Amino acid sequence: MQTGILAFGGYVPRARLQRQVIAAAHSWFTPALKGLGRGERAMANWNEDSITMAVEAGRDCLGGQGSSGLDAVIMGSTSYPFKDRQNAGVVADALTLGSDLMTLDIGGSQRAGTSALMAALQLGGSALVVSAEKRRTKPGNPLELTTGDAAAAFHVGQGDVVACYLGGASRAVDLVDHFRGENGEFDYTWEERWVRDEGYLKIVPDTVAKALQNAGVTIDQVSTFCFPVPSARIASAVARKVGLAPEALADNLQGSCGEAGASHPLVMLAHTLDNADPGDIILVVGFGQGSDALLFQVTDAIRGQQGKGGITGCLKQGYREENYHKFLAFNQLIEMEQGIRSEVDKNTGLTTLYRNKDMVQGLIGGRCTSCNTKQFPKSNICANPECGRFDSQVPEPFADKSAALNSFTGDGLTFSPNPPHYYGMVQFEGGGRLMSDITDVTPDAELKIGMSMRMVFRVKDYDHQRGFRRYFWIATPA
Amino acid sequence: MATGIKDKVAILGMGCSRFGERWMDNAEDLIVEAYSEALEDAGIETSEIGAAWLGTGIDDQHVGKGAIPLATTLRLPYIPVSRVENFCASGTEALRGATYAVASGACDIALAVGVEKLKDTGYGGLPQRGRGTVNDLFWPSLSGPGAFAQLASAYCAKHGVDAGDLKQAMAHISVKSHANGARNPKAHLRKPIDVETVLSAPMVADPLGLYDCCGVSDGAACAIVTTPEIARALGKKDLVTVKALQLAVSSGAEAQHNSWDGSHLVTTRKAAARAYAEAGISKPRDQISLFEVHDCFSITELVTMEDLFISGEGQAVTDVMDGFFDADGSVPCQIDGGLKCFGHPIGASGIRMVYEMYLQILGRAGQRQRSREPVFGMTHNLGGFPHQNVASITIVGREGA
């Protein structure tokens, strides 16, 4: 039995903010940003965060909700929505993975993604690794242009792996190239040239050498190198230093997505696997106060999992966003006048949430054991007027059902961070319906009666007063 | 076997405040304005009232909870007073309470008051508010216009109606109501408009523009009811009696079961069928003289024409464009301007509608008086959203009709 990656998935939000509009907005102050003003960066919608993106990547990886037999869900990120509430736990709950597992948040470094993957591989059981980043960046900082929002997920364990884990290594070096302090909103970064010379070019080669030794692989056997820096020049220099031709570097997705922080090595790995051939050896490196390096060898089983969506699929589904102002508003980087309607108290009763957790976080409805009617939410008495049986319902998951749009509107009156607010009646295949918020209505997607919809896990409301946010499942054009 | 309410209760007096943005008036001022008119019309003293009902929708915006605000405002002398709330049917619920009390013999004379003071929020439209702790976890962030706007998309899909043709008919409805409201001195909006104005207005919730939405108003309305015998003993001659009072509330099937297509109101159809049976009306299109419906939005009025069985299914666009519901048409709808222009102080609206029917039947509607003598007047309220709501219907008419 081999240990390695059993399945993989990824997620990139659909909006792609054009970097030239960012650079143009700052040209009066920081004209040097013009050099970064090419390509596009993935931009999370207002209702997306690292938890929701991790859920989408997890669904892509596991083929939907409700996989059984997982021993752990491990998340890696530096942009957790909650400092004290286990983020991996919310992901596990939305994926309806049950309670009989370990959940773990790994953070504190740009290595969080690779460290989560390494920890899961060393754990020995069957684990889901999710990593998602939505980094807040200061307007005008180069990171605003070079970063992007994205997520990746890996099911690791023993069995018919698509990529066998050959081995890896870690080095801890407290080189502070940047940091975000306890109450810091943004990264504070030091000079790039120093980070290149003393950081990337010294720490990474040592780590890679150790990993190669542990894996029993020589550098010339490596076919692809996933190295998550935005700068092609730095990546090439590091590749040469470890003994690889720059052609071995995997696409760092700088042109189409941007660097997704701690998630980026995993995003690049998922993207590489989308197009890898059996036998390929992939080197993945994470960098941040030291370095992680992991080596995988792709197996024949990879063919069964390619072309099903993932990072490659998401990258094809982007649409051009040219409104930099919207990006600032979505990330609370400017204080918008939202009107008195936005002042409605969004307090969540934590007792209410807990009691209704399956319904809210899992989108679990009901199925009548008497008449087989499916409905959402589940209720004491069947919704079918012809039935009306008491206490006849068993849980019925709705999140992965396809649905059709029955009626809809675009509402400019009700409060929305991204007006008009779309919602409508969606009717699930096999029965059941929901008057649902509708999200990600892209400029090219006109809503039509009867059109196919799917459900996605999103932030429903932000309670800015208390720092809480509640999640729910929302319809989007399929 | 239930025999219904027909002709068991007569209207002794009614009153209605001027509706509108009553910036300098509290809800209590509006109540007194409507009550004074009703009391004078009834020709009785407050001490003769045996029980009272207060209908309000959004009490936390004005009077607060309970019935005490009504009792203290009108100095009701320690009689039973109840407060009822059932969304936009709250006023009709108050009337229902008072009417049933008289019919049951529990009291001789009963009072129904509906009031709403909405213009204290700081913004246009209805107050944005929570929907309940569990509902807030999964309901969409919806508004009234957004919920009702969806009738349009579903109606077009079901009947194969072109969205542009539907929008034209909706515009005709609003233009008609503005023309009617212009002749009503108590109406909130009194300016006639043209179709072009409606079609070019800013969008509120697609396809509803600004002029597809009713006025959000402050106002109060009031009814004093008694038995026909007592009314006659008090000197009343031409009695207007209650013919039917029906209510239908969603069972949750529309919201949860795939049997509803979203193009009509299940509740209105149920309530209408029962109301016609109670009133002994078999051909509503021929027998109803005029009616007031819950035109919170133009599309609501349009589908309601079918839900009340006045227009055939899929035929409302044709009837509207033919002027069937205009003030000089076959069956005028919203002859007082409707919610659209008389205004919509939620709790007052149901009673305001009956007030208009009462005035019309007695020939007291002034400039907007229907020339053909009205026999049956019908009113209709819808509270909530099309997928889960309360529908109420009242039919009043000449005694013996």
Instruction: Give the residues of chain A that fall short of pLDDT 70.
Output: none
Together in a domain, B102 and B155: no
Task: Give the span between the Cα atoms of A39 and A251, in whole angstroms.
Answer: 14
Tokens of A38: 């090419």
pLDDT tens, A445-466?
A: 889 999 999 999 999 999 999 9
Together in a domain, B161 and B27: no
Q: Give me the percent of chain B exceeding a pLDDT of 90.
A: 97
Q: How many domains does chain B have?
A: 2
Q: Does B1 score more than 80 pLDDT?
A: no
Interchain proximity A339–B139, CB inside 8 Å:
no
CA-based nearest distance B129→chain A, Å: 6
pLDDT tens, B295-331?
A: 999 999 999 999 999 999 999 999 999 999 999 999 9
Together in a domain, B53 and B201: no
pLDDT tens, A196-220?
A: 999 999 999 999 999 999 999 999 9
Task: Give the span between the Cα atoms of B287 and A281, in whole angstroms.
Answer: 84
- Tell me if A293 is assigned to some domain: no
Together in a domain, B229 and B165: no
Arithmetic mean of pLDDT, B38-51 = 98
Q: Which residues contact A330 (CB under 8 A, 6 or more apart)?
A: A43, A44, A45, A46, A417, A418
Task: Give the span between the Cα atoms of A306 and A302, in whole angstroms.
Answer: 6
CA-based nearest distance A432→chain B, Å: 6
Together in a domain, B182 and B68: no
Interchain proximity A432–B256, CB inside 8 Å:
yes
Residue-range definition of the domain harbouring residue A353: 341-363+398-477
Instruction: For residue B84, name the pLDDT band (cuts at 50, 70, 90).
Output: very high
- Where residue A413 sits, what CATH number does that domain have? 2.40.50
Together in a domain, B203 and B347: yes
Q: What is the model's pLDDT at position B129? A: 84
> CB–CB of B166/B320 below 8 Å?
no
Chain B residues in contact with A416 (beta carbon < 8 A): 141
Question: DSSP letters along B281-295, please?
Answer: -S-HHHH--EEE---
Q: What is the 3-state secondary structure (H, E, C) of chain A?
A: CEEEEEEEEEECCCEEEEHHHHHHHHCCCCHHHHHHCCCEEEECCCCCCHHHHHHHHHHHHHCCCCCCCCCEEEEECCCCCCCCCCHHHHHHHHCCCCCCCEEEEECCCCCHHHHHHHHHHHHCCCEEEEEEECCCCCCCCHHHHHECCEEEEEEEEEECCCEEEEEEEEEECCCCCEECCCCCCCCEECCHHHHHHHHHHHHHHHHHHHHHHHHCCCHHHCCEEECCCCCHHHHHHHHHHHCCCHHHECCCCCCCCCECHHHHHHHHHHHHHHHCCCCCEEEEEEECCEEEEEEEEECHHHHHHCCCCHHHHHHHCCEEECCHHHHHHHCCCCCCCCCHHHHCCCCCCHHHHHHCHHHHHHCEEEEECCCCCEECCCCCECCCCCCCCECCEEEEECCCCCEEEEEEEEECCCCCCCCCEEEEEEEECCCCEEEEEECCCCCCCCCCCCCEEEEEEEEEEEECCCCEEEEEEEEEEC
- In this prediction the ipTM stands at 0.94
With an 8 Å Cβ cutoff, the interface of chain B facing chain A consists of 121-123, 125, 128-130, 133-134, 136-143, 145-147, 149-151, 153-154, 156-157, 202-206, 208, 251-253, 255-259, 261-262, 385, 387
Together in a domain, A318 and A442: no
Arithmetic mean of pLDDT, B73-97 = 98
| Closest-CA residue of chain B to A436 | B140
Together in a domain, B169 and B223: no
CA-based nearest distance A101→chain B, Å: 26
Q: Which residues contact A146 (CB under 8 A, 6 or more apart)?
A: A36, A41, A230, A254, A258, A259
- Tell me if A270 is assigned to some domain: yes
Residues of B known to be catalytic: 88, 344
Residue-range definition of the domain harbouring residue B226: 10-119+218-233
pLDDT tens, A298-346?
A: 999 999 999 888 999 999 999 999 999 999 999 999 999 999 999 999 9
> CB–CB of B43/B22 below 8 Å?
no
